[in-house]
Structure formats: C-alpha cells, structure tokens
Amino acid sequence: MRNKISIIGAGFVGATAAHWCAVKELGDVVLVDVVEGMPQGKALDLLEAGPVENYDLHIVGSNNYQDTAGSDIVVVTAGLPRKPGMTREDLVVTNGNIIREVMENVVRHSPDAIVILVTNPLDTMVYLAKKVSGLPRERIIGQAGVLDSARMRAFMAMELDVSVENTHAFVLGGHGDEMVPLPRYSTVAGIPITELLPPDRIEAIVERTRKGGGEIVSLLKKGSAFFAPSAATMQMVEAILKDRKQILPCCVYLEGEYGLNDICFGVPVKLGSRGVEQIMEITLTDDERAAMHRSADLIRSSMAALEV
C-alpha cells in the first residue's frame, strides 16, 4: 500500500509541493483547498503530467477533508501569504483561525498522521497547532530551518564559486529576521566557512539569509517564494516516509532543550518514521545562545496574539 500525503492549501506552495511529491513518487496525493475547482484542476493537471515524467500515483483535488482520511502525512500550507511591507506577525490572527480549522479536521480524519506546517508566522502557527490538536510533539513539525539553511547554502556556494552539493549549513531559531545562522557549523566540503571567508563576507551571507524571504517578496511584487519552501517541505516528508534518520533543522515544541520551554523553535532534529525521533542539542557559544534567546523572545511576542 502506498503512503498517503494530504496537502492542505493548493496555492503556489501547496501545488508545487504536490509536484515534488509526485516526481519523487513519495505517495498518493490529496490536494485540498476551499476554492472550488482549483485543487481539482491542479491535481488533474499534475496527474496528466505523469505519463511524461513517468510517475504513477493517485492524485486528486478536493474541497472536502473527508478525502484526506487516513493520511500518513498532512502538509499544511493554507493561509495568507506575506505582502510587501507585511511582517509575519501581521498574519497571526487571520492565519491562526485557519490553522485552528485545519487541525480540527486533521485530528478528526487522520489522528495518526504526522503534520508538517509551512503557514506563517511559522513558529507561532506550529505552537498553535500543537496546543489545539493535542497531538504529541513528535508529530507536529514546522518547516523553516530546512528552507533557511538551503538559502544560506545557496549564498555560500555563490560567494565561493563552488557546487551547492559541497555546502552544508545550519540555521536555527525562529523563521524571521531573528533567525540564527551558525557559521561555525556551516561548511564547504567539511571546512567551516569561518576558515574560508573573512568576517564581513560571512556577515553578508548571514544577513542575506535572514532577509531571504523578504528579498523574494520584494522582487515578485505580488506573492512570495514557493519553489524552495515546497522543496524543503518535501525533503522533510521524504526523510519521514523513508525513515532516513536525517538530521535537519526543524521547528518543534521544546520542553527544556536549549533552555527553552513551552515554545516551538527551530533546532536540529532527527527525522524518521515516527516524526521527530530525537532533538539534537549542540554546543553553542555565549553569543550564539544569546541570539537564540533573542529569537525566542521575538516568537513569544507573536504568540501573545494567540488565544490558547
């Protein structure tokens, strides 16, 4: 029996996630959206690409959560995107209401699913989903650090004129301007970039990483990034479905790790068939730890708008 992956939200991120899922043949796909006809049309279009790309899956679009019943993984992209000049925090109330409805239906129809959230403001929405669903923290995961780390890797490769395949980066903390890129743990062919680049160039990479989403929003004028966010999400889905035990930076609920409690925050985790199988606590300098706590403070200010 094939895995079943439901994607809630058939906008650019959700539909592109469905595309990556099909190309990788990770499982049957259910694409759900409130707009009548849109998920059905995108699903049919994607299904018809199968004979060309040689993937063979069931792909359906729906406006009904009943079609998601029994999902192994539910990816949540539903919500309003950021617009130019809008912060992620501006989205708390509106997207919070959407997440409440989504999680109610996820728990009703797929109580054993692992849930991956992409909706912004990410850390706050993961916290809300955890609280309203009652699901164990191992099965509520936010996609942020994989995307932010991918952006940093791209900028490192551009700066050093090397293959992105030679790069590795760790970006922890909240998914916003106070994210915490860690140059000491970011490498090219195993060599820390602190040994390859002067401090000013490293700081330029760090700053561009922090502003990566906003840079794309400004360029597009309308809408936000969708190729990289959806690809990052599918990397997490693949790690879980294939039980890869892959260590990736993800937003998870913390219970004392890194000195933080009752908050969803980006840290390195081991992803496998049970979802979050281990939270990896790495050694941080005083400056890095202080940056992590500043990032946490910013998330808590966003959480203050929630009613949970």
CATH number of the domain enclosing 71: 3.40.50.720
291 and 150 share a domain? yes
Q: Is the pLDDT of residue 81 over 90?
A: no
Residue 222: pLDDT band by 50, 70, 90 thresholds? confident
Tell me which residue range forms the domain holding 21: 4-142
- Tell which of 113, 142, 171 closes a domain: 142
138 and 149 share a domain? no
Is 175 known to be catalytic? yes
Q: Of these residues, 58, 168, 175, 293, which one is catalytic?
A: 175
| Sequence-ordered list of residues with C-beta below 8 angstroms from that of 220, at least 6 positions apart, any chain | none
Other C-beta atoms closer than 10 Å to the C-beta of 257 total 15
> In 9-157, which ranges are E strands?
28-32, 59-62, 73-76, 114-117, 140-142
pLDDT of amino acid 84: 61
Looking at residue 95, its amino acid is: N
Residue 33 covered by a domain? yes
* In contact, 4 and 74? CB cutoff 8 Å: no
pLDDT of amino acid 42: 98
Q: Is the pLDDT of residue 89 over 90?
A: no
- Cα–Cα distance list, 300 to 186, 253, 294, 296 (Å): 27, 13, 10, 6
Lowest-confidence range among 88-102, 132-146, 289-303? 88-102
157 and 262 share a domain? yes
Residue 308 covered by a domain? no
Q: What are phi and psi of 227, to 5 degrees?
A: -65, -55
C-alpha 157/C-alpha 179 separation (Å) is 20
Taking all residues of the chain, what is their mean pLDDT, rounded to a whole number? 95
106 and 177 share a domain? no
Residue 37 in 3-state DSSP?
coil
154 and 289 share a domain? yes
